[in-house]
Amino acid sequence: MSTFHGLEMAKRALFTQQSAIHTTGHNISNANTKGYSRQRVNFETTTPYPVPGRNQPQIPGQIGTGVQAGSVERIRTQYLDEQYRSENSKSSYWHTTSDALERMESLMNEPSKNGLAHTMNQFWDALQVLANNPENEGARSVVARRGEAVADTFNYISNTLRSIRSDIDYQIDVTVQNANSLIDRIHKINEQIQEIEPHGYLANDLYDERDRLIDELSSIVNIEVSYRKSASSSKDIADGIVTIELVDDHGSPFEPTVKLVDGTAGAMTVEHLTYSKGEPSTVSVGDIQLPYSENNGSLNALVHAYGFEENGELKGLYPGMLAEMDKLANVFITEFNAIHRNGFDITGNPGQAFFTGTNAGDIAVRDAILTNPDLIAAASEANLVGDGSNASNLSDLLDQPINSALGQSTSINGFYRALIGQMGVKAEKANAMSANTDISKTQIENQRLSVSSVSLDEEIANLIKFQHAYNAAARNMTVVDELIDRIINGMGIVGR
């Protein structure tokens, strides 16, 4: 037992308490840093004296030698991260889908006085007025103009659907770039950690940053994260190197596996997502072509909204709506023109096409009819100016169940109503799912915060605790100092 033992022990205590005070300061500083997990210094006692051995001094027992900072660890629970990421994937899928459908809904604008349904009703009214007043020039012009309004509404819906769809295409491109940048950054951090951990350190702040990036990546695609020990010299509580794999809806990896970030020893590579522009644009990674999931990741949601090819057919929310609108417009044009051709215009000539075009994008009232509404075939018999029965037939078409590409006994207006209903149901589901997944995500987020987030009260309490210990250690050192002072200056002067 050396005399200086007490000094050394007090010094260790001072240093260790000080490191705890610094760590507390770090926690307080980062109380509002996104993704930060609180850190703590793991205190451990130093090896007591004496250690057993042949030459051990014969003293009554082992005497403690003080404290040391064993490690600085972040407080975090990995399985909560896993749960969070899985919910995050779902939540962002439904959130993105619900956004896409909301844009579609506000475009269709039903039920309202501006949607296609209202324009159709007005067209029907105009045809009825024409049926009653076929010789009236005004009634004819109104039919031509209202017909134009119907065509314009179809065009507007079709064009806007297309432009929203190309917006989504752009969004896909940006999201892929974002994902690739996340992958690169995670890979960089992996490399940094690989250099730090073998020295016995814990790269706490890098772990936090890496976890935050992985969280972000999990909102884009659903992933599974696994860890590998960086080296045999690394601490057991070190997080290690991550490998990020793409997984399917059930959380199982694909065959062959797609490793976005490969952290296996000796590999340390990345796999980027590829976006290729085209009609339609596609996203793929490894052998996987997106979308591969119906409820995971914003990228899958975007591709679902934008459309993708399956068995040579274009599917997806927007292509689906466009196709239905085109089908509706096509049947409307064909059937309306067929009836129109059965009639006769005001000069007794048989009617020609009323609408031109074949789909929602190019439907238009024939120019000749717009410039000369007398060409509208309101009569069923030639040269009967007062005959409006064909106009009446034309008006009947809108609500008459017919067998066509729209289905058996389906009317034009009925088909459109059903279309809006289906869209409403889809959007309702997406909204509900978005709200539900948000709730479970929030709940897990809360659990995670409960474990990892900084509590200022706690830090302040700790600060006071460490400060007291520091002060006491300093006092301890003063006591030892006085002891030594006594030996050096007070001893050997007996009788002086």
Partner 1 sequence: MRVTQNMLSNQMLRNLSSNYGKLDQYLEQLHTGKKVRRPSDNPVVAMKGMGYRAEVSKIEQFKNNASEADNWFENTDEALDKMTKALHRIYDLAVQGSTGSYNEEDRINMMSEVKQLKEHVIDIANTSVGGKYIFNGRQTDQPPVNKDGSFNNLYNNDSVMIEVAPGTKLAVNAIPNRVFNADNNDLFSTIDRFITALENSDQAQINESIGDIQTHTDQVVNARADIGARMNRLELIIDRLDHQEVVAKKMMSDNEDVDYEEVITDLITQESILRASLAAGSRTIQPTLLDFLR
Residues in contact with partner 1 by CB under 8 A are 31-32, 101-102, 105-106, 108, 110-111, 117-118, 120-122, 124-125, 128-129, 131-133, 135-136, 379, 381, 383-387, 389, 392, 399, 413, 417-418, 420-421, 423-428, 430-431, 442, 446-447, 449-451, 453-458, 460-461, 464
Looking at beta carbons only, is 47 or 347 nearer to partner 1? 347
Nearby residues of 417 by Cβ (< 8 Å), 6 or more positions away: 117
**Quick one: 190 or 462, whose CB is closer to partner 1?**
462
By beta-carbon proximity to partner 1, the closer residue of 50 and 424 is: 424
For strand 364-365 and strand 355-356, is the pairing parallel, antiparallel, or unpaired? Answer: antiparallel
Residue number, 178 or 342, with CB nearest to partner 1: 342
Query: Which of 138/251 has CB closer to partner 1?
Result: 138
Enter the tokens of residue 365: 């009232």
241 vs 444, which CB is nearer to partner 1? Answer: 444
Number of H helices, E strands in the chain: 11, 15
Please check whether residue 346 is in contact with residue 334, taking contact to mean a CB–CB distance below 8 angstroms. no
Report how far residue 319's alpha carbon sits from residue 100's, in angstroms, rounded to the nearest whole number.
12
Q: Which is nearer to partner 1, 194 or 462 (CB)?
A: 462
> Are 137 and 373 contacting, i.e. CB atoms less than 8 angstroms apart?
yes
User: How many whole angstroms separate alpha carbon 299 and alpha carbon 396?
Assistant: 45
Q: How far is the CB of 98 from partner 1 (least distance, A)?
A: 8
Closest CB 85 distance from partner 1, rounded Å = 19
Please, what is the minimum distance in Å from the beta carbon of residue 86 to partner 1? 21
* Least CB distance to partner 1 at residue 417 (A): 5
Please state, in angstroms and rounded to a whole number, the distance separating the CA atoms of residues 253 and 453: 32
- List Cα–Cα distances, 482 to 2, 3, 202, 489, in angstroms: 15, 12, 39, 10
Q: How far is the CB of 126 from partner 1 (least distance, A)?
A: 9
Cα atoms in the Cβ-side hemisphere of radius 13 Å centred on 83: 14
Distance CA 175, CA 103 (A): 19
Smallest distance from the beta carbon of 387 to partner 1, in angstroms?
4
The minimum distance between CB 122 and partner 1, in angstroms, equals 8
